[in-house]
Amino acid sequence: MQSRKVIGLVVLMALLAVYCGICVFIAVQFLPDSKLAELIFYPVAGVIWIFPAMKIVHWMQSVPEVE
């Protein structure tokens, strides 16, 4: 159980680092110089990472099945 939490933490931190890099790349390369585009992009990008993170945390908290 403890190893699941450590593995999950490492995966979660790696996911977040990669996701932040992707968001910055998209923002710099593809967003027009518009405050409205930024106003829409950043909140959406700030919420999307929660869904894979929830799956990782759920996996970390679940008890492995013993046969």
Residue 1's pLDDT is 65
Distance, in Å, from the CA atom of 67 to the CA atom of 57, rounded to the nearest integer, reads 23
Mean pLDDT in order along the chain per 10 residues (67 residues):
89 96 95 92 96 94 79
Asked if residue 28 is part of any domain, the answer here is: yes
**Assigned domain for 31 exists:** yes
pLDDT of residue 65: 75
Count of the separate structural domains present in the chain: 1
Of 44, 56, 43, the C-alpha closest to 16 is 56
Domain extent, residue 51, equals 2-59
Q: What is the pLDDT of residue 66?
A: 73
Please give the pLDDT value at position 10: 96
